[in-house]
Amino acid sequence: EVQLQQSGPEVGRPGSSVKISCKASGYTFTDYVMNWVKQSPGQGLEWIGWIDPEYGSTDYAEKFKKKATLTADTSSNTAYIQLSSLTSEDTATYFCARGQLGGYFDYWGQGVMVTVSS
Protein backbone atom coordinates (compact mmCIF):
# COMPACT_ATOMS: atom_id res chain seq x y z
CA GLU A 1 0.00 0.00 0.00
CA VAL A 2 1.41 3.36 -1.04
CA GLN A 3 1.70 5.76 1.87
CA LEU A 4 3.16 9.23 2.26
CA GLN A 5 3.63 10.06 5.93
CA GLN A 6 4.38 13.69 6.66
CA SER A 7 5.89 15.22 9.79
CA GLY A 8 3.94 17.12 12.40
CA PRO A 9 2.71 20.70 12.59
CA GLU A 10 5.27 23.48 12.68
CA VAL A 11 5.34 26.93 14.19
CA GLY A 12 7.95 29.31 12.86
CA ARG A 13 8.93 32.86 13.76
CA PRO A 14 8.87 35.48 11.01
CA GLY A 15 12.20 35.38 9.19
CA SER A 16 13.03 31.83 10.27
CA SER A 17 12.95 28.56 8.34
CA VAL A 18 11.10 25.27 8.75
CA LYS A 19 11.73 21.87 7.19
CA ILE A 20 8.95 19.36 6.59
CA SER A 21 9.43 15.70 5.75
CA CYS A 22 7.44 13.21 3.69
CA LYS A 23 8.34 9.54 4.15
CA ALA A 24 7.28 7.27 1.31
CA SER A 25 6.48 3.58 1.59
CA GLY A 26 4.84 0.88 -0.47
CA TYR A 27 6.61 1.68 -3.73
CA THR A 28 10.05 2.30 -5.18
CA PHE A 29 10.85 5.83 -4.07
CA THR A 30 13.14 6.60 -7.00
CA ASP A 31 10.58 5.60 -9.63
CA TYR A 32 8.36 8.67 -9.14
CA VAL A 33 8.80 12.39 -8.69
CA MET A 34 7.51 13.98 -5.53
CA ASN A 35 5.49 17.15 -5.75
CA TRP A 36 4.71 19.72 -3.08
CA VAL A 37 1.48 21.68 -2.93
CA LYS A 38 0.45 24.62 -0.73
CA GLN A 39 -3.06 25.23 0.54
CA SER A 40 -3.60 28.50 2.37
CA PRO A 41 -6.41 28.60 4.97
CA GLY A 42 -9.76 28.30 3.23
CA GLN A 43 -8.06 28.68 -0.13
CA GLY A 44 -7.27 26.60 -3.16
CA LEU A 45 -4.19 24.65 -4.14
CA GLU A 46 -0.84 25.97 -5.41
CA TRP A 47 1.84 23.78 -6.93
CA ILE A 48 5.25 24.55 -5.41
CA GLY A 49 7.53 22.21 -7.33
CA TRP A 50 8.78 18.67 -7.76
CA ILE A 51 11.91 16.67 -7.10
CA ASP A 52 13.13 13.56 -8.87
CA PRO A 53 14.59 11.52 -5.99
CA GLU A 54 16.74 9.41 -8.28
CA TYR A 55 18.71 12.30 -9.72
CA GLY A 56 17.96 15.08 -7.26
CA SER A 57 16.72 17.27 -10.08
CA THR A 58 14.07 19.83 -9.22
CA ASP A 59 11.66 22.29 -10.78
CA TYR A 60 9.85 25.09 -9.01
CA ALA A 61 6.96 27.39 -9.72
CA GLU A 62 8.38 30.87 -10.23
CA LYS A 63 6.84 32.33 -7.07
CA PHE A 64 8.41 29.67 -4.87
CA LYS A 65 11.95 29.69 -6.30
CA LYS A 66 13.28 31.85 -3.47
CA LYS A 67 10.97 30.42 -0.83
CA ALA A 68 11.21 26.64 -1.07
CA THR A 69 14.05 24.14 -1.34
CA LEU A 70 13.25 20.53 -2.20
CA THR A 71 15.54 17.66 -1.28
CA ALA A 72 15.28 13.89 -1.02
CA ASP A 73 17.12 11.15 0.88
CA THR A 74 16.98 7.87 -0.99
CA SER A 75 18.44 5.96 1.97
CA SER A 76 15.34 6.73 4.03
CA ASN A 77 12.82 7.19 1.20
CA THR A 78 12.07 10.66 2.49
CA ALA A 79 11.44 13.91 0.65
CA TYR A 80 11.81 17.29 2.30
CA ILE A 81 10.72 20.84 1.74
CA GLN A 82 12.42 23.73 3.48
CA LEU A 83 10.64 27.06 3.62
CA SER A 84 12.84 30.06 4.32
CA SER A 85 12.38 33.69 5.38
CA LEU A 86 8.95 32.92 6.74
CA THR A 87 6.19 35.52 6.59
CA SER A 88 2.52 35.38 7.49
CA GLU A 89 1.80 34.49 3.85
CA ASP A 90 3.54 31.17 4.41
CA THR A 91 0.95 30.10 6.98
CA ALA A 92 -0.70 27.19 5.19
CA THR A 93 -0.95 23.43 4.90
CA TYR A 94 1.74 21.80 2.80
CA PHE A 95 1.16 18.50 1.05
CA CYS A 96 3.54 16.13 -0.64
CA ALA A 97 2.05 14.23 -3.55
CA ARG A 98 3.44 11.47 -5.74
CA GLY A 99 3.60 12.43 -9.39
CA GLN A 100 2.58 10.04 -12.11
CA LEU A 101 4.35 10.12 -15.48
CA GLY A 102 1.35 11.89 -16.99
CA GLY A 103 1.72 14.70 -14.45
CA TYR A 104 -1.22 14.09 -12.14
CA PHE A 105 -0.87 13.28 -8.44
CA ASP A 106 -2.11 9.85 -7.42
CA TYR A 107 -1.17 9.73 -3.73
CA TRP A 108 -0.99 12.56 -1.22
CA GLY A 109 0.43 12.94 2.24
CA GLN A 110 -1.88 13.98 5.06
CA GLY A 111 -0.56 17.54 5.02
CA VAL A 112 1.44 19.63 7.48
CA MET A 113 0.13 22.84 8.95
CA VAL A 114 2.77 25.55 9.15
CA THR A 115 1.93 28.57 11.26
CA VAL A 116 4.08 31.67 11.17
CA SER A 117 3.75 33.60 14.36
CA SER A 118 5.90 35.75 16.59
> Binding residues for other proteins, per CB under 8 A?
35, 44-47, 59, 61-62, 95, 97, 100, 102-111
Q: 28-32: list long-range contacts, CB under 8 Å, 24+ apart.
A: 29/53, 29/72, 29/74, 29/77, 30/54, 30/74, 32/98, 32/99, 32/100
Q: Which is nearer to other proteins, 19 or 47 (CB)?
A: 47
Beta strands in 31-100 (DSSP E): 33-39, 45-52, 57-60, 68-73, 78-83, 92-99
Question: Residue 100 Cβ, how far from other proteins at the closest point, in Å?
Answer: 7
Q: Which is nearer to other proteins, 55 or 104 (CB)?
A: 104
Question: Residue 23 Cβ, how far from other proteins at the closest point, in Å?
Answer: 15
Question: Residue 78 Cβ, how far from other proteins at the closest point, in Å?
Answer: 18
